[in-house]
Amino acid sequence: MYASLILGGICVVIFLIQNIIPGFTDNFALISSQILQKPWMIVTSIFLHADIMHLVYNMFALALFGLVLEGIVGRKRFLLIFFTAGILASIGSLFLYKASLGASGAIFGILGTLALLR
């Protein structure tokens, strides 16, 4: 099984949980003013999505480009790229937004890596 599809599945399951459990999103979204108290938000926010269209667009891009990149670099390198890009995007967003969530930063890292390689 491809890691990109597993990550997509995790995002879908977490989105369902977000819509079932009140307050779930608030505990795991990246809130700049709370980063010192909840440093895990740098990673957990990558798996959250604001609404169904946000999720659909990100998962489409993750499946399409993630599968291509993973086929080129392998599972371990793909996961390293995904998490490195996602964490760097989260850190960058701390300085730009009061709150953020989503896999867009990680996916842009996948797109950027793919563009560099091809």
pTM for the full predicted model: 0.93
Q: Using one digit for the tens of pLDDT, what is the confidence trace for 18-75?
A: 999 999 999 999 999 999 999 999 999 999 999 999 999 999 999 999 999 999 999 9
C-alpha to C-alpha distance for 93 and 22, rounded to whole angstroms = 25
Q: How far apart (Å, rounded) are the C-alpha atoms in residues 1 and 100?
A: 30
Q: What band does 9 get if pLDDT is binned at 50, 70 and 90? A: very high
